[in-house]
Amino acid sequence: MKTYIYLIIFLLTTPLFSQPSGKEILNLIDKNLTARTRIMTAKMIINGARGSRTIEFKTWAEGEDRAFTEYTNPAREKGTKMLKVEDKLWIFSPSTDRIIQITGQMLRQSVMGSDLSYEDMMEDPDLTSHYSASVVASDTVQDRKCWVLQLNALAEGEAYEVRKIWVDQERYVPLREELYGKSGKLLKRTQLSEVTRIQGRWFPMKIVYKDMLKAGDGTQFIIVTIKLDEIIPENTFSKASLK
Amino acid sequence: MLAFKLALKNLIGAGLRTWLNVFVLSLALVMIVFQSGIIHGWDLQAKIDMTEWEVGGGEYWHNLYDPYDPLSLNDGHGSLPSELKKLYNDGQAVPVLVTQASVYPEGRMRNILLKGIDPSQNIVKLPASLMKGDSLVINALIGNRMANATRLNKNDMVTVRWRDANGTFDATEIRIAGIFHTNVASIDNNQIWIPLDKLQKMTGLDGNATYIILKQGITSAPTVPGWIYKGHDILFSELDTIIKSKSIGGLVLYIILLSLALLAVFDTQVLSIFRREKEIGTYIALGMTRWQVVRLFTIEGAMHSILSVVAGAIWGMPLLYLVAKYGFAMPKATEGYGLTIAEKIFPVYSLGTIITMTIIILVTTTIVSYIPSRKIAGMKPTEALRGKVQ
Amino acid sequence: MIKFLIKGLLRDKHRSRLPLIVVAIGVMLTVLMTTWITGVLGDSINLNAKLATGHVKVITRAYRESMDQIPIDLSLTGTQALISELKKDYPTASWVERIQFGGLLDVPDENGETKSQGPFAGFGIDLFDPDSGEAERLNLSNILVKGKLPSVAGEILVSHSFAEKLGINMNDKVTFIGSTMYGGMTIVNFTVAGTIRYGIAALDRGSVIMDISDARKALDMEDACNEILGFTAVDYYDDTKATELMTSFNNENSSGNDQFAPVMIRLRDQNDLGGLIDMMSGVVGIVSFIFILVLSVVLWNAGLVGGLRRYGEVGLRLAMGEEKGHIYGSMIAESVAVGLTGSVIGVAIGLLLSYLMQQKGLDFSSAMQNATMLLPGIFRTRITPEAWYIGFIPGIIATVLGTMLSGIGIYKRQTARLFKELQLQ
């Protein structure tokens, strides 16, 4: 999910025009997303049939293609590690001492029972090169004025054909994202809040994911600490580090 | 011939006792024919149902398609090869495209198979034409089992989510245009049928199919590279095993029933010989050899079976005919496992069974008639004549 | 008088032996038939019960709503207490915990990297406790194709064609990936002890059986399971008993609206089995009726035959001045004795044979190409309460009726002709 987080982790300089073009907003987003590395501790609150569960983990990420996550809590998941390199995903579980590649059907399963699938996690966040963007409206979300940005996939093969992003007009933080199918059906909604100043950037610290087709309360993602542009040793992103 | 006439006369002369035996034997005969008729009828009907609803005259599967492995659906499809395309265009075959999808009745997700078939097809009985009409809405068909499981009714709208060939998600509302009732659970459980062209468009798999159903009666199956022909022998093999099991279960019942009937004949024979010693003595005195007398009595006993066949025909045939005409109600058993069982089974009586059973009854009756009759051979005619042997 | 008759029966073999044998054999066959048809027709119900439904099943209310999806997150918790309560309240039934789940099996290559993967349906059953009877219930040793049954923790059975597809050999280490009851990810190693064949394509293509303790560990289901199966008898579904059990249990657990509260359902409420059960009792009824009819006719005939056999004796007794009514009465009394004795013997032998066939089964598996779990090729009888008395009905009534009919002849005989008849003897 850290890769997904990239999407949200960005800063914007105050625009010179009252309404920047979609492309400009996206460029600003992408430009600001490219913090070279991110190290964060976070927790995920998952609402299931048996009440909610909290999973804690630490993530090291570099660029868009490489991420390493280690789960720290609860005890059952502790020590489980996940490595994403480009479009491949491996999981290591200490009890089995095995590295398993997640492919096919498994990619569609939910991660730890959340409203996110492995596929959602794997999604390429580089919106500029995959989507065309235009500002379609302005709106108010969480008492903040937002541009509503509509993104249409440039080529076949994106998981979501259409995205809509509500971007804070002042801070340039997205406060809401909606994912649509080809036919225009709303599939998923993400709400971002608790925007905080981190290393001089505005950062949403709480994200709620919701599968709109399913009944339920969705999954909360809360960033506890985050450090940007720290140096991460190269071997972190190798399969050897999983064991 | 004399022996036959005599035996028949003696037998009919014995009145009620004979008719009771004959009745019991004929009951055994009719029951056995009936029971095997039911099993045979089930077998036949299941195959007819499967043929009509599901497999037609056989199927071609894409070589990567495996109906029990949902993962195979990602790659287990291809565009129709020209041989099969020609059959499709000629109305001799219909392609089906299968893809994984999710439906969300009442907000609960359920993984299903989305199957696309030509709404104007008439290769299988699936009422595909109900899917025709209004091009804005996707008209879907589901079976009654699926309808029960999802609590969907006709004209309900339900959300379906799928991914196209490139992996892009999409979802839409589809309308349940019809609910069909079939005995064939394997085209019903956990699946939704929609028009083929719609599914091809939705998934971006124009001209693709997962499998192709051939029209009934097509027997020649050319080898098509990349596609595997599945004939009835393969498609029906699971059913064949079950039928075999049921037949064995019935066999034991036949044996018990027949034993009971033979017991009656045996008892009668023992008495006949006991009571008719004087008669036996007389026969021998009149110049018959002992074995001729043994034969006479054996024939007399065996005659029961001939009479029973006649009796069975008289009362059994109309009864069996009526059952065959109106059917025998069956429950929806073991459907969870995808077996095909009709709600009503129409027994199919085979001439083979009837002839076999007649012969078996004839032979066994003759044997049980012969066993007590052997005693005669050991009799001294003079004593027999006086009735004082025993 | 009765003593005298019985003495006569015992001493005069002709008078007693054959009729007795006929009655006994007839009754025996009827008993055998009843138990056989109940057993064979009950087979598919039985197998359903053993494989999936139990005679009754305890689940949570929420689980009941979407049972066909086997949602393990809606499982029962506190099952140890629940099961001991069930055992205490309903001691005649046996109770077992099962976990049905789904997941992915991952087979490593020599470097420990993924070689092949496939989805499966999993069953966690009590394999290690021999008292649970689960291995027998699922006929495991007979459907084993290769290897052996799991005997220690961490060993699993894999369906044969699934194993072939994934390239699994005996004693291979494989990894299970799935979700715990709480939605967490779980990855556990197992050793493949053996492969099995069910004969149900859907299961053969991907299923795994493991001990329930392993399933618990893997799925984070300590003191939990998704289904508790109750069996009211060894091999036979008794709808009345199951209904009683269900009503009593559900009455005690009906309060509140906790969606995880336990609720009991019967076999007939699952997999469309209700109709099959109704038909079965119908068919058993019809076939029993036909058999009783047949046996009645046979014994009636035997009675007639018996009466005729003693034509001479009756003549002599009449000639000696015995009352016709008295002779008739004594013959009927004799037939009652014969019918009763024959029935007792017949029922005893019939039940004994049925019992043997119930325990051992008739093995026809060689006649079938592939014996499977659903169609084991072994046919068993099933002794039901009816089997104890059903034979007596034709055994006594028909014998007496036959004697009564044949005895009417006594009244037709003319004393004047008796001596002539007797002379000839």
Q: Indicate the SS3 state at residue C287.
A: helix
First and final C-alpha spacing in chain C: 28
Residue whose C-alpha is closest to residue C161's, from B337, B65, B70, B68? B68
A114 part of contact set with chain C, CB < 8 Å: yes
pLDDT tens column, C98-113: 999 988 899 998 887 8
Nearest Cα to Cα of residue A26 among A125, A95, A162? A125
- For residue B256, what is the enclosing H or E element? helix B237-275
Which of A43, A98, A242 has the most C C-beta neighbours within 10 Å, making it the best mutation to test the interface with C? A98
- Residue A90: φ, ψ to 5°: -120, 150
Residue B168 pLDDT greater than 80, yes or no: yes
Separation in Å, CA of A145 to nearest CA in chain C:
37
| Cβ–Cβ < 8 Å for C217, A80 | no
**Paired tokens of B106:** 């009442």
Asked if omega into A74 is within 30° of 0 (cis), the reply is yes
The minimal CB distance from B171 to the residues A105, A181, A216 is found for A181
The CA distance from B99 to B202, in Å, is 10
Query: What are the CA-CA distances from residue B275 to residues A49, B279, C104, C300, C310 (Å)?
Result: 84, 9, 78, 18, 9
Nearest CA in chain A to B69: A105
- The chain C residue lying nearest B150, using CA atoms, is C66
pLDDT score, position B331: 52
- pLDDT surpasses 70 at A14: no
Nearest CA in chain C to B16: C301
- pLDDT score at B334: 42
User: Which tokens sit at C191?
Assistant: 């050793």
Per-residue pLDDT at B75? 87
Q: How many residue contacts between A and B have a Cβ separation below 8 Å?
A: 59
Q: Are B331 and B355 in contact (CB under 8 A)?
A: no
What's the CA angle centered on C13, arms C12 and C16, to 5 degrees?
A: 90
CB contact under 8 A, C275 and B70: no
Give per-residue pLDDT as tens, C334-373.
888 888 888 999 999 999 998 888 887 777 666 555 545 5
Q: What is the mean pLDDT of residues C77-81?
A: 92
| Cα–Cα distance, B280 to B232 (Å, whole number) | 61
C32 has pLDDT over 80 = yes
**Gyration radius from chain B CA atoms:** 32
Does residue A134 have a pLDDT over 50?
yes
C154 or B44: which carries more pLDDT confidence?
Answer: C154
- The tokens for C185 are 């990810």
* B366 to B261, B276, B296, B297, B371: CA distances (angstroms): 13, 19, 11, 10, 9
Q: Is the CB of residue A91 less than 8 Å away from at least one CB of chain C?
A: yes
- Which of the two residues, B27 and C127, has the higher pLDDT score? C127
Residue C155 CB partners (closer than 8 Å, separation 6+): C190, C191, C192, C193, C210, C211
Q: How far apart are CA B384 and CA C209, in angstroms?
A: 74
pLDDT at residue B322, as a whole number: 86
Residue C41 has pLDDT above 80, yes or no: no
Contacts of B340 in chain C (CB under 8 A): none
User: Is residue C263 pLDDT above 90, yes or no?
Assistant: yes
Angle of helix C13-41 relative to helix C324-359, nearest 10 degrees? 40
Three-class DSSP labels, B323-361: HHHHCEECCCCCHHHCCECCCEECCCCCHHHHHHHHHHH
What value of ipTM does the predicted structure carry? 0.78
Distances (CA, A) of B310 to B20, B36, B303, B306, B315: 14, 20, 11, 6, 9
Contacts of C272 in chain B (CB under 8 A): 331-333, 335-336
The proportion of chain C whose per-residue pLDDT surpasses 90, expressed as a percent, equals 29
Confidence band for B340, pLDDT divided at 50, 70 and 90: low
Per-residue pLDDT, averaged over B293-311, amounts to: 84
Domain ranges for chain A:
2-60+125-225
Chain A interface disruption, residue of B104, B168, B174, B199, most A CBs within 10 A: B168
Instruction: Determine the pLDDT at residue C188.
Output: 92
Helix (H, G, I), strand (E, B) or coil at B104: coil
More confident residue, A1 or A105: A105
For B162, name the nearest residue in chain A, comparing CA atoms only: A181
* Inter-chain residue contact A112 with C185, CB threshold 8 Å: yes
**Inter-axis angle of helices B290-311 and B2-13, nearest 10:** 60
Average pLDDT, integer, range B345-373: 85
Going along A74-185, which residue ranges are E strands?
Answer: 81-85, 88-93, 98-101, 131-141, 144-153, 162-168, 174-180
How high is the pLDDT of residue C276? 67
Tell me how far apart the alpha carbons of residues B268 and B250 are, in angstroms, rounded to a whole number: 28
Q: Is the pLDDT of residue A17 over 50?
A: no
Residues of C in contact with A100 (CB under 8 A): 106, 114, 175, 177, 187
Return the closest-CA partner of residue C6 out of C334, C379, C275, C424: C334
Highest mean pLDDT among B36-45, C221-230, C409-418: C221-230
Mean per-residue pLDDT over chain B, rounded: 83
Question: What pLDDT does C78 receive?
Answer: 92
Rounded Cα–Cα distance for residues C253 and C250 (Å): 5
Query: Residue C61 carries which side chain, given as an amino acid letter?
Result: R
B153 in reach of chain A (CB within 8 A): no
Question: Which class does domain A2-60+125-225 fall in?
Answer: mainly beta
DSSP A243: -
Contact (CB<8Å) B107/A185: no
Residue/partner pairs of A155-160 with CB below 8 Å, 24 or more apart: A155/A130, A156/B164, A156/B166, A156/B168, A156/B204, A157/B166, A157/B167, A157/B168, A158/A130, A158/A131, A158/B166, A158/B168, A159/A119, A159/A120, A159/A123, A159/B163, A159/B167, A159/B168, A159/B169, A160/A187, A160/A188, A160/B168, A160/B169
Place of tokens 């039928």: B243
Task: Give the pLDDT confidence score for residue C11 in this predicted structure.
Answer: 66
Residue A76 to residue C119, Cβ atoms within 8 A: no
Q: What mean pLDDT do residues C226-242 have?
A: 85
Q: How far apart are CA B263 and CA B258, in angstroms?
A: 8
Q: What is the mean pLDDT of chain C?
A: 82
Average pLDDT over residues B146-166: 89
Closest Cβ opposite residue C375 in set B241, B253, B268? B241
Residue B249 near residue C43 (C-beta atoms within 8 A):
yes
Pick the range with the lowest mean pLDDT from A44-58, B196-210, B372-386, C217-231: B372-386
Q: What is the pLDDT of residue C191?
A: 95
Kindly tell me if the per-residue pLDDT of B220 is higher than 50.
yes
Q: Using the Cα atoms of residue A126, residue A128, residue A132 and residue A134 in order, give the sign of their dihedral.
A: positive
- Higher-confidence residue: C301 or B302? B302
CB contact under 8 A, A100 and C114: yes
Concatenating the DSSP letter of every residue in A102-114 gives --HHHHTSBGGGS
What is the average pLDDT across B245-263? Answer: 80
What is the overall mean pLDDT for chain A? 82
The closest of C193, C195, C267, C197 to C236, measured between CA atoms, is C267
C241 pLDDT more than 70? yes
Compute how many other C-beta atoms are within 10 angstroms of the C-beta atom of residue B228.
15
- Asked if B72 has any chain A CB less than 8 Å from its own CB, the reply is no
Name the band, by pLDDT with cuts 50, 70 and 90, for residue B94: very high
Residue C1 has a pLDDT of 60
pLDDT at residue A16, rounded to an integer: 41
Which of the residue ranges A78-87, A155-164, A179-188, C413-422 would you say has the lowest mean pLDDT? C413-422
Q: How many CB atoms lie within 10 A of CB C158?
A: 30
Task: Please indicate if any CB of chain A lies within 8 Å of the CB of B170.
Answer: yes
Across B42-51, C141-150, C357-366, least confident range:
C357-366
Confidence of residue C315 (pLDDT cuts 50, 70, 90): confident
CB atoms within 10 A of CB C275: 16
Question: CA-CA distance, C46 to C54, in Å (whole number)?
Answer: 9
Q: Residue C23: pLDDT above 60?
A: yes
Q: B167 CB near a chain A CB, below 8 Å?
A: yes
Report which residue type is found at B36: S
Residue-wise pLDDT for A198-241, tens only, equals 887 888 889 999 988 888 888 899 999 988 888 889 888 888 88
Strand ranges for C173-276 from DSSP E: 173-179, 185-196, 207-211, 224-225, 227-231, 262-266
Q: Tell me the two tokens of residue B145.
A: 């089992």
pLDDT tens, position by position, B229-238: 998 888 888 7
How far apart CA A155 and CA C267 sit, in angstroms, is 53
Q: Which range among B328-337, C156-165, C169-178 shows the weakest confidence by mean pLDDT? A: B328-337
